[in-house]
């Protein structure tokens, strides 16, 4: 039996150089297409280039088709930098982050999902992040889902026409040991194109004069969850996450039947379904 011929290192390195050049050529071609897109859509004047639904679909597709030696962390990180940087080129923006629970995890999340080209702005609370996004032309804000009881009903600042809304829950791909695995909401001013939003999950700010265990059961029966709650003047404010196929009328009727008729029930955003890879 004859042994296989020795590997030609020079030829392999030439293949790597060829692939590297091809990838660079493709990135430059992508840039030229984005330049044409800016001219057609005129998105460079405002923060209207975000397409969270499309981004979530792209990241899921990448995770489903990926195989081989290169870690998924690296592949996801490369794509996130490409997507975020070209979005920034279309319509410059900054990312405002709530660092009340520590700067490191929020900085990791912001840099992993938006790269180093996009400016990073730390803030002392979720409320401050929402205020900064509201005052901007088209910035994004990120903050942890779990704000703790001292943060109050911060989600009420997202209620009302023209107010910032949740457009994504990050990371798009959840897995053990994710390098930016802190669960965060991403908020932005209302998208110019509502069809760009992903509505697998819809978030509501609800206020109740009284809350019952039966109301929690009603939310769970609809397939939803109570993300956060806080006492407010005259009752309790809840942040509810419900499947996108549950109408607000259906949800309010179920809560009323459970003895917890909401005094206010306002949509404050939506996001894609969580996509998990690996063991829970």
Q: What integer pLDDT is reported at residue 4 of this predicted model?
A: 56
32 contacts 89 by C-beta, under 8 angstroms? no
Q: Which of 90-104, 127-141, 190-204, 252-266 has the lowest mean pLDDT?
A: 190-204
Q: What integer pLDDT is reported at residue 280 of this predicted model?
A: 46
Per-residue pLDDT, averaged over 101-130, amounts to 95
Residues comprising the chain, all counted: 280
Q: What integer pLDDT is reported at residue 75 of this predicted model?
A: 95
73 contacts 130 by C-beta, under 8 angstroms? no
Q: What integer pLDDT is reported at residue 3 of this predicted model?
A: 55
133 contacts 96 by C-beta, under 8 angstroms? yes
3-state DSSP assignment of residue 229: strand
* Cβ neighbours for 129, distance < 8 A, ≥ 6 positions apart: 96, 97, 98, 123, 141, 142, 143, 187
Q: What integer pLDDT is reported at residue 278 of this predicted model?
A: 77
Give phi and psi for 114, each to the nearest 5: -125, 0
Distance CA 184, CA 197 (A): 17
Q: Which residue has the tokens 């975000």?
A: 50
Predicted confidence (pLDDT) at residue 150 exceeds the cutoff of 80: no
Q: Where are the domains of the chain?
A: 19-198, 201-271
Predicted confidence (pLDDT) at residue 263 exceeds the cutoff of 70: yes
Specify the CATH number of the domain 19-198.
3.40.190.10
**Mean pLDDT computed over every residue of the chain:** 90
Per-residue pLDDT, averaged over 26-43, amounts to 87
Stronger pLDDT, 42 or 87, i.e. the higher one: 87
Indicate the fold that domain 201-271 takes in CATH: Alpha-Beta Plaits (3.30.70)
Q: What integer pLDDT is reported at residue 149 of this predicted model?
A: 66
Residues 157-204 pLDDT 10s: 999 999 999 999 999 999 999 999 999 999 999 887 777 778 999 999
242 contacts 222 by C-beta, under 8 angstroms? yes
Residue closest to 138 by CA, chosen among 83, 197, 87: 87
Q: What integer pLDDT is reported at residue 112 of this predicted model?
A: 96
Percentages helix, strand, coil for the chain (3-state, rounded to 5) are: 40, 20, 35
Give phi and psi for 98, each to the nearest 5: -85, 115
Per-residue pLDDT, averaged over 244-268, amounts to 95
Residues 221-251 pLDDT 10s: 999 999 999 988 888 999 999 999 999 999 9
């Amino acid at each position: 039996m004859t042994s296989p011929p020795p590997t030609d290192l020079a030829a392999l390195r030439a293949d790597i150089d060829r692939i590297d050049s091809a990838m660079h050529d493709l990135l430059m071609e992508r840039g030229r297409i984005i330049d044409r897109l800016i001219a057609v859509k005129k998105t460079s004047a405002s923060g209207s280039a975000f397409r969270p639904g499309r981004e979530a679909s792209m990241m899921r597709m990448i995770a489903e088709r990926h195989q081989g030696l290169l870690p998924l962390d690296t592949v996801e990180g490369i794509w996130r930098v490409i997507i975020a940087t070209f979005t920034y080129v279309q319509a410059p923006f900054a990312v405002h982050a709530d660092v009340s629970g520590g700067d490191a995890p929020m900085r990791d999340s912001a840099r992993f999902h938006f790269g180093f080209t996009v400016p990073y702005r730390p803030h002392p609370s979720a409320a401050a992040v929402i205020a900064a996004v509201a005052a901007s032309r088209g910035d994004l804000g990120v903050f942890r889902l779990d704000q703790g009881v001292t943060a109050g009903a911060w989600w009420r600042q997202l209620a009302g026409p023209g107010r910032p809304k949740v457009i994504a829950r990050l990371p798009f791909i959840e897995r053990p040991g994710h390098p930016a695995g802190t669960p965060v909401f991403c908020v932005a001013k209302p998208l110019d194109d509502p069809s760009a939003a992903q509505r697998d999950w819809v978030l509501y700010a609800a206020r109740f004069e009284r809350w019952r265990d039966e109301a929690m059961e009603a939310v769970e029966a609809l397939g939803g969850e109570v993300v956060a709650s806080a006492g407010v003047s005259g009752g309790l404010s809840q942040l509810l996450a419900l499947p996108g196929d549950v109408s607000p009328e259906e949800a309010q009727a179920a809560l009323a039947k459970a003895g917890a008729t909401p005094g206010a029930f306002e949509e404050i955003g939506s996001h894609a379904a969580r996509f998990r890879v690996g063991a829970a």
